[in-house]
Chains A and B, each alone.
Chain A
Amino acid sequence: MRHPWRTSIAALALLALPFLGSGARAGLPEALSETVLPGHAAFTAATAALNEAARADCRPETLRPSWNAAFDAWMGISHLRLGPAETDGRALAIAFWPDPKGSGARTQARLLEAADPALLEPERFAEVSVAARGLFALERLLYDPALASEPACALTRATAADLARMAVELETDWRESFAPLMLSAGAPGNDRFLTEAEARQALFTQLMTGLEFTADQRLGRPLGTFDRPRPERAEARLSGRSQRNVELSLAALERLALALAPDSPRTREGFERARSQAAALDDPRFEGAADPSRRLRIEILQQRLHALRDQLAAEVGGALGVSVGFNAADGD
């Protein structure tokens, strides 16, 4: 299912050129050229390397480093949930988490049981439930003793190939279509972004929603409540990346915020403090959520991120002249 914005792209890409460097859109071109586009290029490269590695040798222990590199690259762009990331449900298929009903593991178990090579052909596999694809599907194959066995090799390869394909499509759409569309905001024929403010607001909304996701999901899910902590719900717990993902997401959000509004001393300081607090947790899987003394440090980091959110709304939002728009995380 393609979005209408794909159709008039070529013309708009040309229109966009004369606008480059215009002060009125301060921040937007920088955010795209310094963070969004390089972030996607890095993700394409990392998933291509993972795919190559899987083809050469699909044993979990040899694949883990390239899988981790791909996940690191994803953390640089995971907060961008608009346009190309929504097409075909790509962001969901690349990183389906949380999965409270365990849909991913169930579907993967069925695929392994079926042992049908036809289901693993690229075209068929692209139709498989988003819960059973992408980085978290690979995490189970590489780290879950229940799945990381020899017969899983074919599924590992199919999943890695599918991930690399999505990364290429995602990057291509951003580079050739969506970034030019944002840069030509307000130009005749651009009915997605009628004004430059709309394009700025779109990226600002991703920034704010990304920060909320890290605070409320990546930290909030394992925290649960004081009486009922849920460390088993931490993101990427199998591979022990829970804390690392928080640190990398904060770094990526900081880059975006400062590209959008470079003159933001409070934002800069707020991110620095949050990152050093996150690094000091020394709790890769957030097991400390269930330990009253260590739990407090995770809670303090969460409060720090909520305060940072207010700072961003004022400083970055103020500089851009926009507020948070509707986003995919609305609803429950």
Chain B
Amino acid sequence: MKSRLLALAATAPCALLPLPALAVERAEVVETYADIAEATYGDSLATARDLQMAVKALVAQPSEQTLAAARTAWIAARVPYQQSEAFRFGNPIVDDWEGKVNAWPLDEGLIDYVDPTHGGATEENDLATLNVIATPTFTLSGTEVDATEITPALISGTLHEADGIEANVASGYHAIEFLLWGQDLNGTEAGAGNRPFTDYASGGACTGGNCDRRGAYLLAATDLLVSDLEYMVAQWSEGGAAREAVSADPAAGLQAMLTGMGSLSYGEQAGERMKLGLMLNDPEEEHDCFSDNTHNSHYYDGLGIRNVYLGRYERVDGSRVEGPSLSDLVAEADTGLDEVLRGQLDTTLERLDALRTAAAEGMAYDQMLAPGNKRGEELIMGAVDALVTQTASIERATTALGLAKIEFEGSDSLDDPNAVFQ
């Protein structure tokens, strides 16, 4: 069916003629996008609930097995969530919320004990060694804080981004990751964080001190993650604000799609998350630095970008959500560009998959960041270059669809340059 539609579109001699009745409708493409967002956040929520169950089992009965099961559940929860990152830029509802669930990097000493040689107070953050798990009451920006009971409200309302510092990450996947794995003290050598299950043990078996408070923190942070994801699923469900925002004006919806793809590809993933870490040779500059799961996080980010373009998402249960796609639309406007972009998205995934292969063969992402690791540098820069390359095509797709937003004079601030100061 789809190929026939495309063939018809291709016969239209030029853009001045009305599009054939069977042409891909922009509104349908945006609907597919919202459906994929709903399914991706829905899967993120379902896997976070699995994580919640596993965490409860760990805290109730700490053992090697329950800790391993919780770690496995965390890694599984990252699969759909990372794919959802393609929805972040371009949708203010997502971008304003994202810091609650996926903020990174963090001064983890805010939450729990840290190795004195890894982390500690920094020039910019007095709270980098607060260790709230060991400190039931403390002063924050001049105010006495009662943290005797660790609740989701304490984490989200008081601790998260405390003192206005972004590195004070108290909630979300990475806070939970730290509580499950602990600090990775291996630098750019092999090995991830190695927190013992006895950090959650009761009585004399407890290691690391304050095991009951650590368990309470982990439970509260996981509850908070679940409720934050519930909120985002609702935003994309029928009648939800995020769905409405993109559906109300399909052109704006398409722009949100392309902005999300391009900003995640270039500034965020290629730049902030990959190239910067390499240029700093800093093993802390990896997205999942406690669990050494960064190769997967990067891969699923890349997959999420392709999902948006192809209008296709494979759910955690193996079923598919798909429909009329951005790719169909771009192909109508410029077949060659669509082919090039699809090829580039595939290349990016191959290069990101090469990171996963290397990790499976024993070279974790933080080892790739080591100074002088030429193979690691090649692997990372191969993916960075592919992401940068696809960004140019995403920009061209914006132009091909007539979505480039050229600003013209006429706004208040322009007609009266002093208006903004009044």
Taking Cβ atoms with an 8 Å cutoff, the residues of A that contact B are 1, 3, 89, 92-93, 100-103, 127-131, 192, 194, 197-198, 201, 224-225, 228, 232-233, 266, 269-270, 300, 303-304, 306-307, 310-311, 313-315, 317-318, 321-323, 325-332
Contacts and interface: CB of A to CB of B under 8 A. Distances in A.
Interface stretch (B71-79, B313-321, B413-421): B413-421
B406 A322 contact: yes
Interface of B: 89, 122-124, 141, 163-164, 167, 262-269, 271-273, 275-276, 278-282, 284, 371-372, 377-378, 381, 385, 391-392, 394-396, 399, 404-411, 413-414, 417, 420-421
A205 B183 CA distance: 39
Contacts of A328: 266-267, 271
A318 B409 contact: yes
Contact of B164 (A197, A228, A269): A228
Contacts of B284: 101
Given A326-B263, A326-B391, A330-B268, A311 B417 contact: yes
Chain B interface helix/strand/loop/mixed: helix
Contacts of A101: 122, 124, 167, 284
The interface centre, meaning the residue of A100, A194, A326 with most chain B CB atoms within 10 A of its CB, is A326
A287 to B, nearest CB: 17
A177 B65 CA distance: 58
A103 B283 CA distance: 12
A318 B408 contact: yes
A315 B409 contact: yes
The interface centre, meaning the residue of B167, B271, B273, B276 with most chain A CB atoms within 10 A of its CB, is B271
B141 A331 contact: no
15 contacts: A100-B124, A131-B280, A192-B392, A194-B396, A198-B395, A228-B163, A314-B411, A315-B409, A318-B409, A322-B406, A325-B395, A326-B267, A326-B395, A330-B268, A331-B273
A3 B122 CA distance: 36
A332 B263 CA distance: 10
B279 A128 contact: no
Given A1-B381, A3-B385, A331 B164 contact: no
Contact of A323 (B124, B280, B407, B421): B407
Contacts of A127: 371-372
B118 to A, nearest CB: 12
A330 B266 contact: yes
Given A311-B414, A311-B417, A224 B272 contact: no
Given A100-B167, A314-B409, A331-B263, 17 more contacts: A1-B381, A92-B276, A101-B124, A101-B167, A127-B371, A129-B371, A130-B280, A194-B396, A198-B396, A228-B141, A307-B413, A307-B420, A310-B407, A313-B407, A318-B408, A330-B89, A331-B264
Contacts of B89: 330-331
Nearest to B276: A92
A198 B397 CA distance: 12
Query: Nearest 5 CB-CB pairs, A to B?
Result: A330-B267, A331-B268, A331-B267, A330-B263, A89-B279
Contact of A129 (B124, B263, B267, B280): B280
A229 to B, nearest CB: 10
A130 B282 CA distance: 10
Contacts of A93: 279
B371 A128 contact: yes
Contacts of B385: 1, 3
A327 B275 contact: no
Contacts of B378: 1
B119 to A, nearest CB: 9
B406 A103 contact: no
A318 B411 contact: no
Nearest to A322: B406
A201 B392 CA distance: 12
A322 B262 CA distance: 17
Contacts of B406: 317-318, 321-323
The interface centre, meaning the residue of B377, B378, B392, B405 with most chain A CB atoms within 10 A of its CB, is B392
Nearest to B421: A303
Contacts of B408: 314, 318
